[in-house]
Chains A and B, each alone.
Chain A
Amino acid sequence: MDYATLLQVLDTTVRLATPLLLACLAGLYSERAGIFDIGLEGKMLSAAMSAGAVAALTGSAWAGLLAGIGASMLFAALHGLAAITFRGNQLISGVALNFLASGLTVLIAQAMFKQGGRTPPLSGDARFNPVTLPGAEALRDVPLIGPLYYEVISGHSVLVYIAFLIVPFTWWVLFRTRFGLRLRAVGENPAAVDTAGVSVIGLRFAAVAITGILCGVAGAYMATALQAGFGREMTAGRGYIALAALIFAKWRPVAAMWACLLFGFFQALALRPDVVQSVVQMKVPVPLLDALPYILTVLVLAGFVGKAIPPRAGGQPYVKER
């Protein structure tokens, strides 16, 4: 594999890792606050549909993004209502919302556009188009670094850069701010937060709302940047892969980024069987490559990455007791 091919694969890695990263950070906020969210998938899917539909109708990718965030937050609010207010089972609520999103997106898309459950193909301003970073053209001919900057780092949509900037921001929020301290505390021991006179319910809803926003961005990215429109089940399990990455990263933001890049790299390899075959000098069945990210997910979830200790109060509704 030559350097140019490697850069192509890495470029694809970054593009494919972005929705995983956004969903993974979304899950991080929720789970750090003690609310398990298996419904990342459904939120992304609903956001993708809404973003695709609104972008197609208005011709504006930004309007699509807002619609995506809105749809995702609606699902997040439902999850919050079930898990926080009514102290329901968080897994069941998440699974239910995933089913709801799976059916509802296709139904609405079909009712609106009559294109077999898809939204119309997007072009121009209805999509987030690649941004060329300053100096990319000028540096292009510098050996090694130039092509790396031009191919891998420059030339993505603005949502990619936002996603990667959210990583240090999340670290800063979690470990350097009052909100972060309280958020982490409420996921570890909500009683400590409650007796300190801070609202457990308020904090958990705030966390779930952030999850909604980030999943909304992830879904909108799928429909208006990575691809040109919404298609049935287009998230293809990315919500679950993001959860696996979250566990892999032990609920830490920077590690989450590396985990998502790893999963993205496997997804990128699946798109380039020729590259894989030239590297391993063997014919590799394409379906096996397609399955790689999912196999990795299973391995991670089965605990092959060492002991991952989730936030201690994760999954437990908070019942005030003395």
Chain B
Amino acid sequence: MAASADNMGRQATAAPFAIELKGISKAFGPVQANKDINIAVPKGTIHGIIGENGAGKSTLMSILYGFYKADSGQILVGGQPTPIPDSQSAIRAGIGMVFQHFKLVQNFTVLENIVLGAEEGALLNTSLGKARQVLKDLAQEYGLNVDPDALIEDLSVGHQQRVEILKALYRQADILILDEPTGVLTPDEADHLFRILRGLKDQGKTIILITHKLREIMEATDNVSVMRRGTMVATVKTRDTSPEQLAELMVGRKVLLEVEKTPPAPGKVVLSVQDLRVRDEHGVERLKGVSLDIRAGEILGIAGVAGNGQSELLAALGGMTKASGTITLNGVPLPLSGPGSDGQSRREAGIAHVPEDRHHHGLILDFAAWENVAFGYHNDPKYQKSALFMDNDALRADTEKKMATYDVRPPIPTLEAKNFSGGNQQKIVVAREVEQNPDLLLIGQPTRGVDIGAIEFIHKQIVALRDAGKAILLVSVELDEIMSLSDRIAVMFDGQIMGMRDPASTDERELGMLMAGMTGTSDAKLKKEAY
């Protein structure tokens, strides 16, 4: 990567830099989040920043947007040293940010959200009038169409993101930072986003794209910087690199990007679900009659955009919510409401559950690791000392063993769960559930917020469990993960299963159509042929 500095140097004469960071360092207490970061982003390019969770990408961008103040270092915007003590200064310097979690007021209109903080005067009418006109121009220029009078809460996630981009453009941002922009989008919406970004680039805007998805970096960026443990390890031209090389730079060792697995050998039906329905607290039906079978020795993947009933499916099967319909495990019907429908009964029946939301349902963050390992299995005879007391020593020893097997770092059972990294927290949850040797494993978003190294490990565990003849229901919004792990793929949309596909004979395009609610298989096939 030594060549990169030279590359950048040569470009400096041709195109000036939109942004240069020089020697940026930032520490939170004893944790050094950014160490002497140097980066130069040429004007009119799309620059990717990639790194594992906790590598310091977000901290760096927060410094650039005035959310944090760097301990040392210098920021140059357009060649001029520009201190950025707060967001207002960042906006004035022409920097716009699209956050991963949108900063929009849900019950305001698009127009109100756009003018908020950038009003023309004390009265609203003039601001709103001007914004309406500007919005019309921006829509024409970049293809960013949004109804200015729609309420944010009525918009799709993709449109909400457009509002965020429009907010930045309305403030005349020349440099646009996008933090993990595709996490909430369908593949189609993501494609559209990248088209918009390329349009912005053609108009001379500079775009910084933060992501952990290697594919997006390869697809959309001109240059890419890789961060690891707070340092910038390399900046390379995207066309000169490969996903494998980037992954290695991110993790610091060779990483297997493909999941290795043998063809499945499905056995008898373990779980049979018929006409499963779930209503939410407002009485709205979230799961609208789902039926499926999972066999021993197979992984059934559920694909879909977040919020289309996958969470409710997991919650109903895992005993976290009331449902109607029938489910049978190894031919034995299980209750869906009333006594025996709770999570503990499910675990006793042989259904283990790694919940989607690790922090709220998978762990109690303030409790020690060994206590977390007991949850759901605290009545297990092997953890009991007598009728009244638990055998905490046995539990701690057990935890220590699990931590060793799963390579949890640091391997300290008495450490509180919140002090582990996301990947290690997830390993604790997976260890707890998998080591109980369940007949069926429900696993939701197994690698959300988990670094590449741990992803590799968790994927291996899931495949190993399958090869041991267990049934696995995998829910993930990461289409790559679904495609590489599943033996069969069910696509959910609006609380229903749109279709069942074989990963060997489908592709992202077809799944993306199903995820968007379009069942027209013939259409998808036609399109495919047209290509």
Interface residues in chain A, defined as those with a beta carbon under 8 Å from any beta carbon in chain B = 175-182, 184-185, 188-189, 191-198, 312, 320, 322
Contacts and interface: CB of A to CB of B under 8 A. Distances in A.
10 contacts: A175-B124, A177-B123, A181-B112, A181-B124, A182-B116, A185-B105, A189-B104, A192-B104, A197-B87, A320-B67
B122 to A, nearest CB: 5
Given A181-B124, A188-B106, A197-B88, 15 more contacts: A176-B125, A177-B124, A184-B105, A185-B108, A191-B103, A192-B104, A192-B105, A193-B116, A196-B87, A196-B91, A197-B90, A197-B91, A198-B88, A322-B67, A322-B68
Given A185-B105, A188-B106, A196 B118 contact: yes
A59 B97 CA distance: 59
B223 interface: no
Contact of B122 (A178, A192, A198, A320): A178
Interface string B114-156: 0111110111110100000000000000000000000000000
A302 B86 CA distance: 43
B62 interface: yes
Contacts of B106: 188-189, 312
Contacts of A182: 116-117
B103 A192 contact: yes
A188 B107 contact: yes
B194 interface: no
B496 interface: no
B99 interface: yes
Contacts of B167: 196
Contacts of B103: 189, 191-192, 194-196
A189 B102 CA distance: 10
B58 interface: yes
Contacts of B53: none
B18 to A, nearest CB: 20
Contacts of B58: 322
Given A192-B113, A192-B116, A195-B87, A178 B124 contact: yes
A197 B87 CA distance: 5
A308 to B, nearest CB: 14
A8 to B, nearest CB: 42
Contacts of B112: 181
Q: Number of contact residues on B: which range applies?
A: 20 to 34
Contacts of A188: 105-108
A176 B87 contact: no
A32 to B, nearest CB: 12
A320 B65 CA distance: 13
A189 B62 CA distance: 19
B408 to A, nearest CB: 26
B115 A181 contact: yes
B162 to A, nearest CB: 16
Smallest CB-CB A-B distances: 7 pairs: A196-B117, A197-B88, A192-B103, A178-B119, A322-B62, A197-B87, A195-B103
Contacts of B118: 196
Candidate in B90, B105, B118 with the most chain A CB atoms within 10 angstroms: B105
Given A192-B104, A195-B87, A177 B122 contact: yes
Given A177-B122, A181-B112, A181-B124, A195 B99 contact: yes
Contacts of B104: 189, 192
Contacts of A179: 122
Given A192-B105, A197-B88, A320-B67, A185 B123 contact: no
A96 B123 CA distance: 38
A181 B107 contact: no
A181 B87 contact: no
Contacts of B99: 195, 322
Given A195-B97, A198-B117, A178 B105 contact: no
A196 B116 CA distance: 7
A180 B121 CA distance: 12
B178 to A, nearest CB: 14
Contacts of B97: 195
A197 to B, nearest CB: 3
Contacts of B61: 322
Contacts of A191: 103
B238 to A, nearest CB: 26
A194 B107 contact: no
Contacts of B124: 175-178, 180-181
A176 B123 contact: yes
A107 B107 CA distance: 46
B107 to A, nearest CB: 6
A2 to B, nearest CB: 47
Contacts of A320: 67
A177 B127 CA distance: 10
A143 to B, nearest CB: 43
Contacts of B121: 178
Contact of B117 (A176, A180, A193, A312): A193
Contacts of B115: 181
